[in-house]
Amino acid sequence: MTDDLQGRQSKRKRLWLAVALAAVLLVLLIVPPLVSVSRYKSRIVQLISASLGRPVRLSSVEARLLPQPGFVLTDLTVEEDSAYGAEPLLHANSVTASIRLLPLWRGRLEIGSISVDEASLNLVRTEGGHWNLDSLFHTAATTVRGGSKSPPQLPYLEATNSRINVKSGVEKLPFSLVETDVSLRQENGGEWRIQLRGQPARTDLSLAQADTGVVRLDAYLQRAAHLREMPLRLDLEWKDAQLGQLTRLILGSDAGWRGDLNGELKMEGTAEAAHIATRLRAKGVHRAEFAPATPLDFDANCAFVYHFSSRAAENLLCDSPLGSGRIRFTGDWPDSEGLPRFSVALDRVPAQAGLDALRTVRGNLNPSLEAKGSISGTISYAATAPERFAEQYPTPIPSWLKKHPGKGPPAPANPLTGSFTVEGFQLSGASLTEPIRIPKVVFEPMPSPGPDADGIQSRQIATAVTFPAGGTAPLVIHTSLSLSGYLLTAHGQASIARARELARVAGLPDASALDAVAGDPISVDLTAAGPWRPAEKLPVNALPSAGPTAAPETPIAGAAPFADSLSGTVTLRNANWKADFLANHVEISQATLHLGGETRWDTVEFTYGPVKGIASLTLQPPCDAADACPPKFHIAFGALDSATLQSAVLGAQARSTLLASLLERLRPSSSPPWPRLEGTVTAESLLLGPVSLREVAATVRILNNGAEITALDAGLLGGQVHGTGAFQAVGTDRSKPSYVLEAQFDKLSTPAVGQLLGERWSSGGFDAHGKIDLAGFTEKELAASAKGNLHFEWRHGAVAGSVPAALGRFDRWTGDAKIADGALTLQKNLLRRSGRDAKIEAAITFGAPPKVAFAAPGEARAKR
């Protein structure tokens, strides 16, 4: 009985299901021919326009029954309110609008949902803070009172693979969301839910789209007359953003940061007063120029109340772990009429965390440096009314205000109070043989007597520490820190070894030059300043080195345009310096390095073996072409003997000649031992065997492949000599250097010249000029290889001794001589005596002493 009843019920269900399917088929077959799509086009436009509160245009409408009854709209455009501009609010090529079935059976057409794909939506914000979506929500939130009919319910809105543009008034901003999926629907109780997923982009830049991250939003809104009054709950997440592309997205240029960032934001309230909680997590934060040993990671949580209309924030609280300690930031940022107040509290933050943070902006810090100690304390900022000095008075400050300061605003108080204390600080590692230990360091706000030239109060904290550095007096370092940069001064003494270690710790580019220096402690009086993100390296070269000065680093686009500066003096006393290109040490009794506008070694009193002198060296600022800006030097000697100089340069065991060894050392190789220099050398006198030069002044250019004497002036044999010279390596093996010497001799004393040649010459003036090429190292090689020419002129002269009679006394003797095969041979010449011309044949063989040989002259009657 029971089985029969169940069987009959099952048959009835199948029957009713068959009837329903048949009814659906009848509807699908009968209804479409009866529906006039053109009849509903205007109705559809009216419905969408009434739902969105905007005029709507479309090109065509097609009916669709499956999978859900609706319409396919082509070329849909939702016009914008003229108050927000002329560009459409929304445009889509293809739109699907589904209809609600229940109102349809009642004879009323209502849009249930609108789905668009690859649409373009413009969000506009006016200067008054109103958004163009205000009217949309206002239309949706309107209720009818007094029994009137309610307006059409806002349909479910959905957009996929679309673009959202942002405008400020009529100006379209470069920011947008691409590949965006967004939905808007009304849930129970009149609550609205908005869901969004998109990728941030800029229209004016080419960005690595995958590195800008993905933005997800899930928001709930309650009914209100205006958008800013609607209660809302919002969850925003920004994931997998790369800092380099993120700064390009926000700032328009790469700020030079690298790392991965994830952000979360939760907001509850209204746009007028929203409670906001954020969380920022970053990993591997560092500068693009280098990869630090320990990249910076942080996880910061913040909460505050934000008023969008006045752009004010209150009850701000940010907290983040930092190493084994914590950092806490609190404050209020009122509207334009109020004064901000903030405080930063550190609770046992490791000093190592501060060092790691510094490494993120400075790549010249040694990765092996380690810091111990902890930082605790609180510093508060409370702006005061006098800080608005710049707004009340123009800059520069008027002269009448400088003369009558009482008429202006009172001197502002320091807006910073409190202190940070570093306990048990110790810095070790890198080149430090002994750690730097400072038991207690206190950073306090720097006193501010008043605003600076721009009317801005000082916002800096400063400290002073003293520690022994190997000198008779300790080293005192004053440090001042601000949000934009730093200022550091060092005064006192340090041993050269300790100074070398500290220079490496500070990352000075030429600290290795101190490796060649030893002696008494040095005295320093230095000031360093700069931004936290320098564009160039420190412009300092501590000592001349064998190689050219390193070129500055190339700044990243968008980086700070200012570089670090280092100024002051470093003084050496009783030191010695050994360079690879010199045979012996240079003993320095005193030398001062000046840093600032130029880098200059001045008044270097040195002793090089038995040779004493005073030198200076000026290092040129970096040039586009390194060869165009070599260092400039000047060396001044007293009385100088070439034999003494030879002993100094070659040492006690030297066997070869001075010139040969000097040229051997100057010979270029694959790694040039001499730096490129330009400068002058002067000497009161230079003794060259039997010849002495007086008041010597030479301009010298040392090159990688040799050297040049671009000018030489000196007194010689009662007259003057002016000359130039050069040498360079020759041959495939570069075994012998070659030289070119050219000189002009003016008004030489003939008795002195004759004495040099072992002859007795008298009266008259002797002038000459010539050029000679030589090659080799020894005197014998040089004499054998000498080739050149000499032209001379001798007026009203006389030669005594075993010489041709024509030389006894003459009016004028001119001629040319050839230098070759170890001798100087007189060639074409003319000697005039009492109206007669004669030719003289003679040769001078090089040697010590030289040998002069004359031949019998041939005479000719003078031409009338």
Handedness of CA 751, 753, 758, 760 (dihedral sign): negative
Token reading at 423: 């306990």
DSSP β-ladder status, 565-577 and 522-531: antiparallel
Summarised one tens digit per residue, pLDDT across range 38-61 is 666 777 777 777 777 788 888 887
Whole-number Å distance between alpha carbons of 662 and 468: 43
Backbone dihedral region for residue 18 (phi beyond 0: left; psi -120 to 50: alpha; all else: beta): alpha
**672 phi, psi to nearest 5 deg:** -55, 125
Whole-number Å distance between alpha carbons of 709 and 651: 25
Contact by Cβ (8 Å): 349, 326: yes
Whole-number Å distance between alpha carbons of 178 and 836: 106
DSSP structure class, residue 49: H
Whole-number Å distance between alpha carbons of 542 and 524: 12
Whole-number Å distance between alpha carbons of 219 and 191: 10
The pLDDT, as a whole number, for residue 106 is: 57
The pLDDT, as a whole number, for residue 646 is: 59
Whole-number Å distance between alpha carbons of 100 and 114: 12
What DSSP line would sit under 705-751, residue for residue?
TEEEEEEEEEEETTEEEEEEEEEEEESSS--EEEEEEEEEEEEEEHH
The pLDDT, as a whole number, for residue 863 is: 38
pTM greater than the 0.95 cutoff: no
Q: What is the distance of C-alpha 813 from the center of its chain?
A: 69
Contact by Cβ (8 Å): 575, 517: yes
To which H or E segment does residue 504 belong? helix 496-506
The pLDDT, as a whole number, for residue 17 is: 66
Whole-number Å distance between alpha carbons of 215 and 238: 5
- Cβ atoms within 10 A of the Cβ of 48, count? 22
Whole-number Å distance between alpha carbons of 62 and 60: 7
**399 phi, psi to nearest 5 deg:** -65, -35
Token reading at 652: 């006690």
Summarised one tens digit per residue, pLDDT across range 416-446 is 889 999 999 999 987 788 899 999 999 998 8
Q: Write out residues in the chain with pLDDT < 50, as ranges.
A: 30, 33-34, 143-151, 387-408, 449-457, 535-562, 652-660, 662-663, 665-672, 731-733, 858-864
Three-class SS state of 490: strand
To which H or E segment does residue 649 belong? helix 642-650
The pLDDT, as a whole number, for residue 264 is: 93
Whole-number Å distance between alpha carbons of 355 and 493: 26
Contact by Cβ (8 Å): 688, 643: no
Token reading at 359: 């490494």
Q: Long-range pairs for 720-723 at CB < 8 Å and ≥24 separation?
A: 720/745, 720/746, 720/747, 721/693, 721/745, 721/746, 722/746
The pLDDT, as a whole number, for residue 350 is: 92
Distances from the Cα of 147 to the Cαs of 134, 139, 443, 568, 649, in angstroms? 26, 18, 72, 87, 114
**743 phi, psi to nearest 5 deg:** -145, 155
Of the candidates 676, 582, 697, which has an alpha carbon nearest to the alpha carbon of residue 634? 697
**135 phi, psi to nearest 5 deg:** -65, -30
The pLDDT, as a whole number, for residue 812 is: 87
